Structure 1
Amino acid sequence: MTEEQRLTTREAAERLGVKPETVYAYVSRGQLSSRRGPGSRGSTFDAKEVDALVRRSRRDSASGGNGELSVRTRITLIDKDRYFFRGVDAAELARNYSYEEVAEWLWTGVLRPGIRFTAPRDVTEAARRAVDALPPHSAPTDRLRVAAVAAAASDPLRFDLSEAAVLATARTLIPTLVTALPLAGTAHHGEGPLAERLWPRLTVQPPDAASLRVLDLALALLIDHDLAASTLAVRVAASARAHPYAAVSAGLGVLEGPLHGAASGLAHRMLAEVIERGSAAPVVADHLRTGRRVPGLGHRIYPGEDPRAQALFAALEDVEQAAPALAAARDVITTTARHTELYANVDLALSVLTVTTGMPAEAGETVFAVARTAGWIAHTLEEYEERPLRMRPSGQYTGPRPPQPLP
């Protein structure tokens, strides 16, 4: 952005997230200055001054009127039954571009066709050695957190929080996390799409083009989903100016919670049981009898079907061997609809892929964590632009009133 860049009233309104008449209200209150060019009928506004007002507005609205934390963001918008990355339909982006291309769009607003993320050999080897030292039964998030720590320790420039440095970190950290995971099948050498490198770490089955496309689609769809619990943790870390590796580690820590990252594994196990028993009815009945919710159904944000599930189900139709798992998923939806109308969410759709391709139950969590790392980086970059340590809500003390006697 140059010093001379000027915005029209419409452009200023879009950047501020207000109506054009509100822009003039800012001018009348002295919050913005306007200038009318020679021969021009409309006013123009200094882009830097507009951006400064945007930052001030974010700080003023950091605490919502209902007492909940509110964060203004330019990254993801969720609106009814759709979600958007920087204003573009996220499902359409994922259907048309690779995971790496969508990640670049989320970070920079620039599409870079054909981009591939690679990592230096010494960094990936350090991360792999650290992960190999863990017990064999370690969970995917254990391995990813250790890989992130090892990558951070290998990077003496990790405390450089400039945008260029953070983007360079992101482009090496994500492939490092993938490469550090133990192999389940035969590795694909080279620097192909990230989905191709992740595949042999999830299953021993060789990939086909349609299945690889579904995995890449899943990664792109899961990149970000507004302020989920793990993303909020990332922004808290970034607010304290933790380096990007540490911010990602914060997200991985929250992801391991059973209410956030484990949902896809539960859906996987349920779907496998439905296929084994030949019907969803007894499986759904068992869940309801024991007071458990049926995994893979319903979403607190979407009133209808999760758009991520819609995109994945459509792509899975092209995977011939997915037919039994797709039929089982539809059986679960139909059976549950007799009791209450719940729609499929992304965990159920992802479990169709993991069950079909012989992946373990925790594979969905791995896909989720790798994918969401790109979104965490986007939120880290955005939070670095804000006032430091703004994520500091005040506690409401409910203990004994002082003074109390010395114990």
Structure 2
Amino acid sequence: MTTATYENTLAFAKEQDQNDPLHKFRKEFHIPTDKNGKEHVYLCGNSLGLQPKNTQKYIQEELNDWSKFGVEGHTEAKHPWMPYHEFLTEKMAKIVGAKPSEVVMMNTLTTNLHLMMVSFYRPTSKKYKIVIESDAFPSDKYAVESQLDFHGFDKKEGLILWKPRKGEELCRFEDLEKIMEEHGDEIALLLIGSTNYYTGQSFPIKKITELGHQHNAKVGIDLAHGAGNIQPNLHENGPDFAVWCSYKYLNSGPGSLGGCFVHERHANDSNLKRFAGWWGHNKQTRFNMRQEFDPIPGAEGWQLSNPPILSMAAIRASLDLFDEAGFDNIRKKSVELTGYLEFLLQEIEGDQIEIITPRNPEERGCQLSIKVKNANKELFNKLMNAGVIADWREPNVIRIAPAPIYNSYEDVYNMVSILKELL
């Protein structure tokens, strides 16, 4: 769908929803309501995804099996707990474009990031610097600074920031190329967020990976705002590792488990250092407690502890919906739905609205970040009071993220209508 076919009417939005093959999935989610029972316009899946209605059922099944079987639930439960993480792997791998052997759900995002840096950030006295985008999510910055400090390097001098040019909001790839040309012999790791949390800019993973590898640096991707939003094609694009959370676009609940990708070229590399735990040990001999550590090939070998089943049950509930919908279909709708949001915002008269997210759908996910001229958080608070759940980021950005699996064209139309009234 192109802007030429969009219409700025409620009737058009309703018609698009009627013709949308994914619209039926909206009823599979709990939509928050006000005290009168009216649904909010929820456009905050980039912060916390909505709860699938079957989540409670999936978790209750595990509670029932725990009460029924006790410890024997590890083998006797309807979904046995011992291999439970394996029930998530294939569906998660499709969403991030990886082979199942390259993916595991475990821990939380920053924990996984540190585990990956143990293996893939191997600094020397001359090649030790780390590159991140200048406005990376703070947790990434804290993590890499602490790794630099841990290895005995100055955390400010060892960190190189890929910055937008003066007066611009977005990072340019040619500026990253220049950084690598000037400092490539000093850079050990590129750690880039696939989709920037603030601007919504989605970076070219394949080009970044090839650039890093040309300079003998490892490449890691933070998919916190990418997994379930864009298709990162991790196997084909080839980064050494990637990490993500599952509570944003993947709708697994607050603080739920994260995911991890390790490219298959590292699957059997016995020279890789790692922090090990027993759940990463050979499954055949894991319970023979006196064995030397024998890592499972692939991403599973980085597991530490037996997984939290209740959290994984919530992830399974959402991944089942993603699998039924098909991620290619979800991404296709995302491009069209965010395109409609962009069209409606551009229809607002005057120059009050500035969209800082790239206009090219290939360079963004579903999120649009907007600046409103001469506005402060008061406008955002009015939006929230009017029933629009979005997200505010200092100093002056409102992030709007129509998640395609449960948001509708009508949601988008209503949000922009309310914004126009407030302006």
After TM superposition, the score normalised by the length of structure 1 is 0.28
Higher strand proportion (structure 1 or 2): 2
